[in-house]
Amino acid sequence: MSGSLAYQETQISEPPQQTKPLRAAESRSWVWLAIAAALLLFANGVDTVPLAAWFAPILLLRFVRTQSLKAGLPVAYVVLTATFPFQFRGMVPIPGVVYYIFLLLTGITLVLPYVVDRLLARRLSGFLAMLVFPAAWAAVEYLSSFMGYGTWGSAAYAMYGNLPLLQLLSVTGLWGITFLLGWVASTCNWLWEEGFASPQARRGAWACFGAVAAVLLLGGLRVALFPPNSQTVRVASISDRTVGPELSLPVKIRLFEGKATSEDLLAIRPWASAIDEDLLARAEREMQAGAKIVFWGEADAKLLKEDEAAFIARGQALAVTYNAYFGMAVGVLSMGKPRPLENKLVLIQPNGKVAWEYSKAHPVPGFEDKMQVLSDGKLRSLDTPYGHLSSVICFDADFPQLLAQGGALGADIMLVPSNDWQEIDPWHTQMASFRAIEQGFNLIRHTSHGLAAAYDYQGRQLAAMDHFRTADYALVSQVPTKGARTIYSRLGDWFAWVCIAVLILLRIQSLRRTRA
């Protein structure tokens, strides 16, 4: 009898003793949240600090796992949503209330990996539980890449400049980098929860940090021992510049909406003609200097539809005269049409023939998307003495699935005429460099009103010119004429699908354990 009473007293007195550490952990978790929020401001975007990108998810995951569902997940959503506009300030061209709707929806994709981890990891244990967060993060980013803004906001871009780590792109694409960031976060939390005394947690840590070390070692060896060693070709790219009176804003709006009046055209023609003549003259100067590939920024040449043929003919004559490949990035406008703008790159061969007309496949959502003529979304390619050439335009390079066509075509050099604005300089060009490593081609992104840069297929910056720090607006780069076929260019998004499959299997395993 006394033993039974003692047992009952123990059962009554134990819960308060067990809740004290839990309450203390919950209290401390708010400190981790505050630190995580501060780190998130610098974990991506304008002011990226790579170490912040590693540490912020560790602390935020700790907060979410420590707090209750009702408290932890909503707070994490608010923190992620609130820090995003600071990270990417000035980068999202969405006006008015639509911008806030965009932020609310973006916050859902940012918090979703934490939601999946909170709901699933507790029903598993050990190594299986550790896989939930990184697999969920990589899977969510992959599925989000099919939405209107492509890979904008991917955590992997915070690793720009770490060439040994970024060689993983050639195997897994962006998703492998994101997985590593998430894997480190979940591993640190496992050690945090069970302590270094746990043999299983230590083995998990050895596996995770060993994998990171292996990626850095193998990536470093690739960069050091297998750099591009082919011949190079001189590539020149230029930006438009102000050479006469500017058009008034109302006239520009009517022009790009296809609603310019006859009076507007009296101002538009001399304005466009001055810019176009300057582009042709400077392109000829670069050809005379020995450039064998010359192109300019996105839609830098503004043309009315009736003037297009004559302008292209002048480019053909230059290509023949100087035996060069000439990429004429034009914005052709047809008045009175629902979609008045043709945003395309016309590539002229040294024999004067047009190799292709490629139209931008992913116009920026909003104004540009509404006014641009639809593209067939197919990349073109051309075999030349300087390697296999292909091209995309600006925002296209934010969509790895589109650039995968370049890898499939065996492109050696990818031309990317672009046009940015100061707030996304140099970030947008740095994003494009990831496509070079993924698909194994050398890439020149010439950006009017942004950073123009050339990269080899391992991500080295070969040359650069910032629009806001120069007066010449010309970039000359020596670019390797051979690329390298990568695992990612052959197998595509295999790693992202593995992450999705792992999540499904983990969910099935959690249901089995719940039933048991």
Q: Which residues does 286 contact at the CB level (< 8 Å), separation at least 6?
A: 236, 238, 294, 474, 476
Q: Give the pLDDT confidence of 311-354 residue by residue, as tens digits.
A: 999 999 999 999 999 999 999 999 989 999 999 999 999 999 99
Percent of the chain with pLDDT over 70: 95
Residue 467 near residue 448 (C-beta atoms within 8 A) = yes
In the prediction, which pLDDT does 402 show?
A: 97
Q: Give percent helix, percent strand, percent coil of the chain, each to the nearest 5.
A: 60, 15, 25
Residue 2 has pLDDT above 70, yes or no: no
What average pLDDT does the structure give for the chain? 93
331/299 Cα distance (integer angstroms):
4
In the prediction, which pLDDT does 10 show?
A: 41
For 280, the token pair is: 């042709």
Residue 6 has pLDDT above 80, yes or no: no
DSSP-assigned beta bridge partners for residue 130: none
Q: Give the pLDDT confidence of 394-411 residue by residue, as tens digits.
A: 999 999 999 999 999 999
Q: Give the pLDDT confidence of 284-320 residue by residue, as tens digits.
A: 999 999 999 999 999 999 999 999 999 999 999 999 9
Mean of pLDDT values over 163-171: 98
In the prediction, which pLDDT does 11 show?
A: 43
In the prediction, which pLDDT does 443 show?
A: 98
> What stretches of 226-341 show up as alpha helix (H) in DSSP?
249-256, 262-288, 308-322
99/366 Cα distance (integer angstroms):
11
Strands 381-384 and 354-359: unpaired
In the prediction, which pLDDT does 21 show?
A: 59
In the prediction, which pLDDT does 471 show?
A: 87
pTM of the model: 0.92
Q: Which residues does 390 contact at the CB level (< 8 Å), separation at least 6?
A: 379, 380, 381, 382, 405, 406, 409, 411, 413, 414, 415, 441
Q: Is the dihedral of CA 449, 145, 411, 431 positive or negative?
A: positive
DSSP state, residue 124: S
In the prediction, which pLDDT does 22 show?
A: 58
Q: Give the pLDDT confidence of 343-386 residue by residue, as tens digits.
A: 999 999 999 999 999 999 999 998 899 999 999 999 999 999 99
Q: Is the dihedral of CA 446, 447, 452, 458 positive or negative?
A: negative
Mean of pLDDT values over 496-507: 97
Q: Which residues does 167 contact at the CB level (< 8 Å), separation at least 6?
A: 215, 218, 219, 222, 223, 437, 458, 459
Residue 15 has pLDDT above 70, yes or no: no
Mean of pLDDT values over 107-111: 96
Mean of pLDDT values over 12-39: 72
> What stretches of 88-173 show up as alpha helix (H) in DSSP?
96-120, 126-144, 163-166, 169-172
191/193 Cα distance (integer angstroms):
5
Cis peptide preceding 426, ω within 30 of 0: yes
List C-alpha distances in Å: 206 to 55, 148, 195, 421: 18, 39, 14, 44
Q: Give the pLDDT confidence of 125-155 residue by residue, as tens digits.
A: 899 999 999 999 999 999 999 999 999 999 9
Smallest Cα–Cα separation from 291: which of 315, 326, 320, 317? 326
How many other C-beta atoms are found inside a 10 Å radius of the C-beta of residue 213? 10
